Amino acid sequence: MPQRLFSALLLFSALLLSTSPARADNDAVQFGSNIVVPEGQSVHDAVCFFCSVNAKGDIDHDVVVFFGNVHIAHRSRHDVVVFFGSVRTEDNAAIGHDVVNFFGNVHLAENVTVGNDLVVMFGGLHAADSANVTGTRFAQPIWVFWTPLLILGLVIVLVVREIRASQRRRYFAAYGYPPIPPQPPIQPGPSAQ
């Protein structure tokens, strides 16, 4: 069974890595190659896996990025969703609906408008005072995620250490301590004259 699962995952990975860029209705979909929207041009949707989106022009609908960054210079008319990356805007940029970021940072420059909600989970939010978020602004810092994991890791290390020390004590109680090897005799040094 594990060999079949491994074969299926290997086949899936090969198909995923061999994909070519897809375009439908002016969509930009990439895997491993950055998407650049030049100034004065637009795309409908921008979807990027293991790459970044640099939008100097307009994005008419959604931006979705996994393991990459998003740069909005002008306007994105709908949602911007990023997993494990950052969102950065330039002055006077506009995002029509929501901005959602997991495990990354969001930087909103001067006079940026977000048409609905701004959600940053386990990351940082840096917004200029003039940035306008129409809906809810929610930011959960990264330490909320890492602190419980670090505490759990520390507890596991302490439990394993105590179990090993207990096993060592039981071994020595049952079999005694190993004999200490004899120390070599100290040779007298040359006498000072």
Instruction: Summarize the confidence of residues 143-154 as an average pLDDT.
Output: 84
Rounded to whole angstroms, how far apart are CA atoms 185 and 98? 80
Percentage of residues of the chain with pLDDT beyond 90: 40
Same domain, 32 and 107: yes
Same domain, 17 and 111: yes
pLDDT at residue 12, as a whole number? 59
Q: Which domain holds residue 159?
A: 143-175
User: In the predicted model, what is the mean pLDDT of the chain?
Assistant: 84
Same domain, 100 and 151: no
Same domain, 77 and 167: no
Give the pTM: 0.65
Same domain, 125 and 169: no
Same domain, 50 and 98: yes
186 is a domain residue: no
Please check whether residue 73 is in contact with residue 53, taking contact to mean a CB–CB distance below 8 angstroms.
no
Same domain, 74 and 103: yes
Rounded to whole angstroms, how far apart are CA atoms 35 and 33? 7
DSSP, res 18: T
Tell me which amino acid residue 33 is. Answer: S
Residue with more model confidence, 95 or 7: 95
Same domain, 24 and 39: yes
pLDDT at residue 68, as a whole number? 93
pLDDT at 16 over 90: no
Q: Output the six-digit token pair for 42.
A: 């637009």
Q: How would you classify residue 66: left for phi > 0, otherwise alpha for psi between -120 and 50, otherwise beta? A: beta
57 is a domain residue: yes
Same domain, 22 and 84: yes
Closest CA to 132 of 117, 119, 152: 117
Same domain, 61 and 97: yes
18 is a domain residue: yes
pLDDT at residue 123, as a whole number? 86
pLDDT at 10 over 70: no
Rounded to whole angstroms, how far apart are CA atoms 33 and 77? 23
Rounded to whole angstroms, how far apart are CA atoms 45 and 74? 15
26 is a domain residue: yes
